[in-house]
């Protein structure tokens, strides 16, 4: 395997670590800034790396809500012509927009509220016969969970009855990606756990695991949150993962936040 990775961030790095037989994998990394041992999007060696890769992964999002995908902008034609047998792109279930709490699968309508993200999602899906687009909800895992946020400071528990999020443990994303190397047809896959749940319920559970007081409920209007944090509450959907489990033969290691947070807790430093 000659694997080319654009944007080796949190999830992509776990994927690299979780590859079976990783010692025999030749990996080329492409980063946004010049780093020893990695290429950049304008590197002279990159066209040859694209042409020589057997597998290609991009976890690079558009630069802004309405911006273009930087990888496709720079190398879309070369990627479309690549001889790779597997091309993966990490997208977002945000492309579904607000479903008023309904379940959404891969056939559900998408909307343009996040025009850049949606355009990238669709462009990668249509790019190449071997393309797999993994639509991901809220990602959590070691070092990046409600447990860590609680330890780092106060966490808002928003009182918005009927509102739920879908989420997925990073290692279950990795498992789905690894499974797709040998199973399942190219196409779009929702990668989500089995239990969409209110954020305030997950935060309360995390606090109890840590032996901390459960933060009080707050209204969305009174909470101190970033614009991105507030945007999550403007939409409500439940992400269906049936295609993932059927076609990739995947049994989730962490089917709900209960198992996932317990695993994160076991990996936390005292």
Question: For 119-148, how does the pLDDT look when each residue is reduced to its tens digit (9 = 90+)?
Answer: 999 999 999 999 999 999 999 999 999 999
Tell me, what's the pLDDT at 259?
Answer: 98
> What would the pLDDT profile of 150-171 be if each residue is shown by its tens digit?
999 878 899 999 999 999 999 9
Closest by CA position to 80, among listed 39, 36, 138, 124: 124
Structure tokens at 23: 């010692």
Write down the mean pLDDT value for the chain: 95
Q: How confident is the model at residue 20 (pLDDT cuts 50, 70, 90)?
A: confident
pLDDT value at 177 more than 80? yes
2-267: CATH class? alpha beta
Please check the confidence at residue 33 and state whether its pLDDT lies above 80: yes
pLDDT at 225 over 90: no
Q: What is the mean pLDDT of residues 212-222?
A: 92
Task: Give the pLDDT band of residue 22 (cuts 50, 70, 90).
Answer: low
Q: Which of 97, 99, 93 is nearest to 121 (CA)?
A: 93
Task: Name the residue ranges covered by the structural domains of the chain.
Answer: 2-267
Residue 23 has pLDDT above 80, yes or no: no
Question: Helix 10-18 and helix 170-180: axis angle, to 10°?
Answer: 60
For 71-123, how does the pLDDT look when each residue is reduced to its tens digit (9 = 90+)?
A: 999 999 999 999 999 999 999 999 999 999 999 999 999 997 889 999 999 99
């Amino acid at each position: 395997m000659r694997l080319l990775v654009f944007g080796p961030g949190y999830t992509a790095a776990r994927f690299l670590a979780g590859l079976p037989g990783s010692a025999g994998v030749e990996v080329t990394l492409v980063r946004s800034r010049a780093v020893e041992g990695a290429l950049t999007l304008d590197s002279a060696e990159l066209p040859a790396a694209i042409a020589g890769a057997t597998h290609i992964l991009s976890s690079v999002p558009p630069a802004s809500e309405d911006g273009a995908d930087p990888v496709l902008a720079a190398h879309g034609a070369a990627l479309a012509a690549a001889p790779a047998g597997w091309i993966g792109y990490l997208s977002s279930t945000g492309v579904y927009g607000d479903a008023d709490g309904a379940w959404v699968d891969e056939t559900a309508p998408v909307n343009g509220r996040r025009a850049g993200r949606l355009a990238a999602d669709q462009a990668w899906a249509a790019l190449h016969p071997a393309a797999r687009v993994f639509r991901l909800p809220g990602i959590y895992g070691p070092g990046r969970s409600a447990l860590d946020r609680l330890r780092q400071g106060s966490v808002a528990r928003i009182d918005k009855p009927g509102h739920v999020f879908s989420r997925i443990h990073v290692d279950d994303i990795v498992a789905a990606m690894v499974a797709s190397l040998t199973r399942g047809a190219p196409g779009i896959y929702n990668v989500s756990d089995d239990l969409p749940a209110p954020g305030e319920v997950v935060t309360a559970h995390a606090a109890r695991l840590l032996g901390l007081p459960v933060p009080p409920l707050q209204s969305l209007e009174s909470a101190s949150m970033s614009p991105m944090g507030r945007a999550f509450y403007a939409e409500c959907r439940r992400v269906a993962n049936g295609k993932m489990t059927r076609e990739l033969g995947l049994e989730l290691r962490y089917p709900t936040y209960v198992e996932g947070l317990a695993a994160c807790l076991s990996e936390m430093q005292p």
